Structure 1
Amino acid sequence: MASELITRELVALDVDFGSSVDEVITQLATLVHAAGRATDVAGLAGPAIERETQAGTGVPGGVAIPHCRSEAVSEPTLAFARLSRGVDFSGPDGDAQLVFLIAAPAGGGKAHLKILSKLARALVKQDFLEALRSARSEEELVALVLEVVNAEKPKKATPQPAAAAREKQAPAEGVSASKATRIVAVTACPTGIAHTYMAADALTQTAQARTDVELVVETQGSANNEPVAQATIDAADAVIFATDVGVRDRERFAGKPVIESGVKRAINEPARMLDEAISAASNPHAHKVAGGAESADAPAGATSPATDGSGLGWGKRIQQAIMTGVSYMVPFVAAGGLLLALGFLFGGADMANGWQALSTNYSLSNLPGNTIEVDGTIMEFERSGLMLYLGAVFFAIGQAGMNFIVAVLSGYIAFALAGRPGIAPGFIGGAIAVAVGAGFIGGLVTGLLAGFVAMWIGSWKVPRWLASLMPVVVIPLLTSLVVGLSTYLLLGAPLAAIMEGLQNWLSSLSGSSAVLLGIILGLMMCFDLGGPVNKAAYLFATAGLSTGDEASMKIMAAVMAAGMVPPIALSLATLLRKSLFTPAEQENGKSAWLLGLSFVSEGAMPFAAADPLRVIPSMMAGGAVTGAVSMALGVGSHAPHGGIFVFFAINPAWGFVVSILAGVAVSALAVIALKQFWPNQVAEASAAKAAAAEAPAQDARAARSAV
């Protein structure tokens, strides 16, 4: 029910929730948990804080809207704080005093997201913001919010032809209504809950106040995702893409002048974006959506979208493309790696040497013994029969998945740059990179090459009869030729040499050099606890798994072990010295150990958010020790994830456990020492408040005992 979306227990007026974004989010998550709407504070605060690292959620008006979907959330919830001390959420107006935490269940339907989108749209209205600032009680504020989220959506008016709509508008002095520029905009943010709809409404409200613009907005969020009619797109003079993620079905807009930016720019500068779109509509050299008959590159000397603010810079686009490729690659690594681990579990440690012969020459009706012939050589296995055969099958399936990872990486890098026409050349380039021995480094290069070549060919000015063939035949064909020939004739040998040199370097690591690498990887894993640096270390480890060499397995073990340390160490620290932590941290500590055992580093995020100067250095110290010990003991892991629950894929398992225990001990002692000798005022105040609240109960118990 909408009436239960926010209650007085979820509202805090004129409070001091700390000086950092992470502290405010953690305190709001604590309200949600106390109201019984989240299973634990960490499970809600962690994803919201991680979302904040992607882009600040501050919006005009001194408002912030941190938001996330989380398995910890049991029902759609709004928590609100009016802060007495503003906090910087990277908004355009400085510190935010009004903060909404929008918490959505991970598997929830779309009905509640429509309600949340109403709130996001109301936040661009000044009268609503003033009412929030002047509310005198929690009940009054709840009534204001419920009035917004329960409001009926106005019925959609019957579409009118553009000319008729313009005739009904009263043109401003000196402006001809017949010359209104028709613009189609697309807005989208990573979670699709708030910024998507706020950007849409900011553009819409700005356009409604003008007579030189006709605007239609398509929101690609979690609710209300009705696509704009193709006829409307075809009639548009220009397009605005205000997105932090890829535009779905981008080819619909092919050939249209386009202004591209992140979603927050549409919220902060809607008028400027409309002005830029109007200018692009009349500029024959404007940047256009690739793939259409009218698309054309700007001539030499023209202003590029990277420099005029109309598009994303090339550095940012390349970064986004690589991360897109990585995001599609990781599931292949995870599934393939865990299946390989199951192969070792069922078939034994020597499975890697005979899985092909076992999986193809035997069946359920013809099970192998423990001695078989492999390529003319008799091999003896520690197991036989059904277990050996199933181990070989699991290993074969996992190997098939691992064989795809370079092609997937390359294909989706190209897709992120050029859309669907880039997928086939990217996959082909990745497959060739594997064939010539260039590995994942070759996949990165071929993906970028395929993406840029496909973009360039898509910008060609071609006859209209050929335009329909461009994305499905011409671009994939020509791009595949360019990428294939370039890789075989020019790039293959040097890239293969680089990859071979990297593998030889990793294989040669021993003693102090291996320990040093373990220290570096451990520091990276514990620096931002699931952030970009953590993910870079994890990517380095998982990419190496595709080579199958022993050094890569050691790197994977060191990375996974180090990533497990922070949540376990903080859980232990809250158990040993409870008084040094806030009540919310004490509650988080009860479940953080399980997240740590599962290799979910984000379980430590709420602790780091509330007290970064003490927590992060302590965790990095423990991560460095774990990485060093793991490498020194030669621990290797065939599995890319799973923590202690994939112990069967780790050898030696005892070394893995020892390295984790060493790091946990260092981190726990370090964080206790820092909090003890460098007290945290927030924790002390919370502890004092909790003690004060507990005192009456203790007095009552004492009185009952005396009686």
Structure 2
Amino acid sequence: MKIKSLFKNKDTIFLNTNLESKDDVLKFFAKELFLKKYGADEEKIYKLFKERENQSSTGFGNNIAMPHFGDETMNESTLLFARVNDIDWNSIDNQPVKYIFGIAFSKNDRENSHIEVISKLAKFIDKEEFKKELSTVNSSEEFLSLIQKFEEETQEQISVSSNNNKEYDIVAVTACPTGIAHTYLAEQKLIEQAKAMNLTIKVETQGAEGIKNSLSIEEIKNAKGVIIAIDREIEKGKFAHNDNIVEISTQKAIHKPEEQIKKILENKGQKIKVAKKLGDQNSDQDELSFAGFGKKMHRSLLNGISYMLPFIVFGGIILALGFIIDLITGSLSGKDINSAEFLSNFGFNNSIAKLFFEIGKIGLGLAVPVLAAYISFAIVGRQGLLPGFVVGSIASGGVKGTYGFLLDSITNSGVQKPGDFLGTGSGFVGAILGAFYVGAMVIVFSKYVFGNLPKTFNGIKNILFIPLLGTIAIALSFWLVNIVLIYINLGLVLLLQLMQNKPYLAWLLGVVLGSMMAVDLGGPINKAAYIFGTLTIVNGNSSVSMAAVMIAGMVPPLGISLSMIMHKKLWTKEEIEAGKISNIIFGLSFISEGAIPYTSKNPKVLIPSNIVGGAVAGMISALLGVNIVAPHGGIFVVFLAKSNLFVNNAVSIGMGILFWFIALFIGALASALMIWILNKYPINFKTKKRKNV
């Protein structure tokens, strides 16, 4: 689809507009589309533009914005252009917008062509020579001639980069998390720079529309080197036999393409090791090493988290629904839902509620094993799945029956319900550390233990030796580590139990529990606080500790989301797009793990901010006497909250709910403000200062 053809009647080109804000532009575009009969509903068009901007800014940087949508309200697809005086568009580079390309597609074209149009525009709209000429055009004809000129030049570059010679000086692959803007901007910058240096290049893009311009194994082998410009993990097996590979972010490809190409020409790249042999897509023959292991750890962590989060979301919400069903059916059947008998069996008084509760437990129970398995899978491929699942199951308490010999010492410690500690495990942190351990051990077994076997043994090595002997060795050693973590949790719970029995220390208990819930987001410290909270309600009694635990656990994702709303400049476009809304859902559902991807990306800012937010929320909750009987559910069980500052039951419930939200909001606000403070006044660890969270 040609860009020029979408400016159909030259009547959507506005070179001298007096618009002062983003909202003015969107209203103006909506009005013009309606008046010129491209769209059927002016108000809906404006709303669609706004909804897209609320997801994340369409300011691409370099003074360019591309607001866009696709909907059946459009009679036909069209483009709009407006040249304006500096407008704040909350762009990714925080610079004002001067040139705005509006994209309004019909529903059919939205499904088939909008990514193509955006990617084509992205290839030339931020070129300095394009913007220079764009600033001087005086008519629609001149504007369209300029568009045609640069579109043809871009197509020529693509043709050059897609020749059939099977030999290129350089090959590259680009991929960003959303698969739209940065993927194609990186592609274009690399092509431009290669052309300026009289080099041939072919760039494979792995974007929202799939893999385009795919590189063949022959092309990769014949190139002088490979540039892998990615912000997410991709399959790298076909690059394994090139010895000169430079792996960077898309930002470096966009802003410093010459530097990356020179690295290739100076042979400063390196060989990468992957789980599969180059060109053998059906083989599990390992080609593993510790080269680049540290770099893999971070990306593999994000890979595991992406697979785990659906289990957390599903399990937490279904669990909460079980409580709600039990409460509703109990009320309708005339039961006293405040009685000790009902509360002691809360979630299990009704068979349907019990079914929901058990299904929710399955979802939550699978989260930790899935996390460990897919972290190890990202590091070493399919050989990591089996030991990853086993280690994750141990971390989540799957073998608690084998720790019976610890029961006497745990009982003698004086902790309540000592048997429950055998199921504590080591949680998410244990799964993460265990997965890294799995990755390392699979490499050891593959390369060093069984590495010298004859090639005829490769099949049985990958099917039997490593899965059987490797997994049992990894499982047994991790089982021993879990003993240490159980006793660490025991010490923490004993400390909390001491404060639980001292009313005048309620505020301190709230601070401690809140900090513990926020510090490692599902790890052993968080788990110790949560186990303690659940132990305080085992007899069907509401607990201040349980309320503090739940409220503080809701704060980290809410604090991040609030920061994205209050301080947009601290976050990248991709982070806001992925996290602003989802973290509200995670937080309100008591799924603190939603904050893990952001915390792992910038722990120096997010860990202190999470702790401060959790501590403040826990302290306020405990000071206001908020208590609850439900062990999970977040906002879905908030109506069970009470405040022990009031004697009257109705008043106690009403104020308990109000205090709950007050503690939650102030905690999230404290977290968001701490994120801003630590970005504005970073703690100096003698490392390069980051611009964004």
Q: With the length of structure 2 as denominator, give the TM-score of the two structures.
A: 0.59
Q: Deviations over 1:98-142 (max 9, x none)?
A: 57688999x963521111111111236443232333345899768
Partner SS state of residue 47, structure 2 = coil
Aligned CA distance change for structure 1 residues 344 and 451 (closer, same or farther; 3 Å): same
**Correspondence for 1:273:** 260
**Correspondence for 2:426:** 438
Cα distance, 1:458 vs. partner?
6.8
Q: For 1:123, which of 102, 115, 125 is the aligned residue?
A: 125
**Correspondence for 2:215:** 228
For 1:294-313, list aligned pairs within 5 A: none
Structure 1 distance, partners of 2:632, 2:443, is: 34
**Correspondence for 2:205:** 219
User: RMSD of the alignment, in Å?
Assistant: 6.1
Q: Deviations over 1:627-683 (max 9, x none)?
A: 54434434448587773x55467677645531256469989999xxxxxxxxxxxxx
Task: Say yes or no: does 1:658 pair with 2:658.
Answer: yes
Moved more, 396-405 or 541-550: 541-550
For 1:167-206, list aligned pairs within 5 A: 181=169, 183-206=170-193
Cα distance, 1:193 vs. partner?
0.9
Residue identity opposite 1:336 in structure 2: G
Aligned CA distance change for structure 1 residues 564 and 669 (closer, same or farther; 3 Å): closer
For 1:223-622, list aligned pairs within 5 A: 223=209, 225-226=211-212, 227-233=214-220, 238-247=225-234, 249-257=235-243, 258-280=245-267, 286-292=271-277, 314=294, 317-348=296-327, 388-433=350-395, 434=397, 435=399, 437-454=425-442, 480-489=471-480, 491-505=481-495, 510=500, 515=507, 547=531, 549=535, 551=545, 554-560=548-554, 599=588
Q: Deviations over 1:312-370 (max 9, x none)?
A: x94x654444344333322212211222222222235999xxxxxxxxxxxxxxxx9x9
Aligned CA distance change for structure 1 residues 349 and 27 (closer, same or farther; 3 Å): same
Question: Do the aligned partners of 2:52 and 2:67 also contact (CA within 8 Å) in 1?
Answer: no
Structure 1 distance, partners of 2:14, 2:446, is: 51
Aligned CA distance change for structure 1 residues 475 and 95 (closer, same or farther; 3 Å): farther
Cα distance, 1:397 vs. partner?
0.7
Partner SS state of residue 192, structure 1 = coil
Partner SS state of residue 211, structure 2 = coil
Q: Deviations over 1:150-173 (max 9, x none)?
A: 9996897998764xx66xxxxxxx
Cα distance, 1:191 vs. partner?
1.0
Q: Deviations over 1:572-619 (max 9, x none)?
A: xxxxxxxxxxxxxxxxxxxx9xx8999499xxxxxxxxxxxxxxxxxx
Structure 2 distance, partners of 1:543, 1:27, is: 50
Residue identity opposite 1:492 in structure 2: N
Cα distance, 1:431 vs. partner?
0.9
Question: Do the aligned partners of 1:438 and 1:495 also contact (CA within 8 Å) in 2?
Answer: yes
Q: Deviations over 1:359-410 (max 9, x none)?
A: xxxxxxxxx9x9xxxxxxxx88899999711111111111111111221222
Residue identity opposite 1:409 in structure 2: L
Structure 2 distance, partners of 1:264, 1:539, is: 33
Partner SS state of residue 228, structure 1 = coil
**Correspondence for 1:364:** none
Question: Do the aligned partners of 1:450 and 1:479 also contact (CA within 8 Å) in 2?
Answer: no
Partner SS state of residue 216, structure 1 = strand
Cα distance, 1:553 vs. partner?
5.8
Q: With the length of structure 1 as denominator, give the TM-score of the two structures.
A: 0.58
Moved more, 231-240 or 4-13: 4-13
Aligned residues: 544
Cα distance, 1:556 vs. partner?
2.4
Aligned CA distance change for structure 1 residues 228 and 149 (closer, same or farther; 3 Å): same
Structure 2 distance, partners of 1:476, 1:188, is: 32
Q: Deviations over 1:48-71 (max 9, x none)?
A: 26x99xxxx65xxx4566899999
**Which sections of structure 2, spanning at least 5 residues, go unmatched?**
32-41, 278-284, 336-340, 401-424, 537-544, 566-580, 591-610, 644-652, 671-693
Q: Deviations over 1:465-520 (max 9, x none)?
A: 6778887766655653453132024x222222233344445555545766467679
Structure 2 distance, partners of 1:104, 1:425, is: 50
Structure 1 distance, partners of 2:353, 2:379, is: 40
Partner SS state of residue 406, structure 1 = helix
Cα distance, 1:146 vs. partner?
8.9
Structure 2 distance, partners of 1:417, 1:223, is: 26
**Correspondence for 1:39:** 47
Q: For 2:56, which of 40, 48, 51 is the aligned residue?
A: 48
Moved more, 74-83 or 388-397: 74-83
Residue identity opposite 1:488 in structure 2: W
Question: Do the aligned partners of 1:198 and 1:267 also contact (CA within 8 Å) in 2?
Answer: yes
Structure 2 distance, partners of 1:134, 1:116, is: 23
Question: Do the aligned partners of 1:565 and 1:663 also contact (CA within 8 Å) in 2?
Answer: no
Structure 1 distance, partners of 2:505, 2:50, is: 37
Question: Do the aligned partners of 1:630 and 1:655 also contact (CA within 8 Å) in 2?
Answer: no
Cα distance, 1:441 vs. partner?
2.8
Cα distance, 1:184 vs. partner?
3.8
Partner SS state of residue 399, structure 1 = helix
Partner SS state of residue 111, structure 2 = coil
Aligned CA distance change for structure 1 residues 159 and 494 (closer, same or farther; 3 Å): same
Aligned CA distance change for structure 1 residues 380 and 100 (closer, same or farther; 3 Å): same
Percent of aligned pairs sharing the same letter: 25
Structure 1 distance, partners of 2:633, 2:7, is: 38
Residue identity opposite 1:221 in structure 2: G
Structure 2 distance, partners of 1:422, 1:99, is: 49
Structure 1 distance, partners of 2:514, 2:346, is: 39
Question: Do the aligned partners of 1:187 and 1:200 also contact (CA within 8 Å) in 2?
Answer: yes
Aligned CA distance change for structure 1 residues 195 and 157 (closer, same or farther; 3 Å): closer
Aligned CA distance change for structure 1 residues 629 and 655 (closer, same or farther; 3 Å): farther
**Correspondence for 1:172:** none
Question: Do the aligned partners of 1:102 and 1:116 also contact (CA within 8 Å) in 2?
Answer: no
Aligned CA distance change for structure 1 residues 256 and 639 (closer, same or farther; 3 Å): farther
Moved more, 152-161 or 383-392: 152-161
Partner SS state of residue 109, structure 1 = helix
Structure 1 distance, partners of 2:631, 2:529, is: 9
Structure 2 distance, partners of 1:667, 1:488, is: 37
**Which sections of structure 1, spanning at least 5 residues, go unmatched?**
18-24, 167-179, 299-303, 306-312, 352-367, 371-378, 526-533, 572-591, 602-619, 671-707
Structure 2 distance, partners of 1:537, 1:296, is: 31
Partner SS state of residue 220, structure 1 = strand
**Correspondence for 1:678:** none
Cα distance, 1:195 vs. partner?
0.6
For 1:159-174, list aligned pairs within 5 A: 162=165
Structure 1 distance, partners of 2:437, 2:666, is: 46
Question: Do the aligned partners of 2:315 and 2:363 also contact (CA within 8 Å) in 1?
Answer: yes
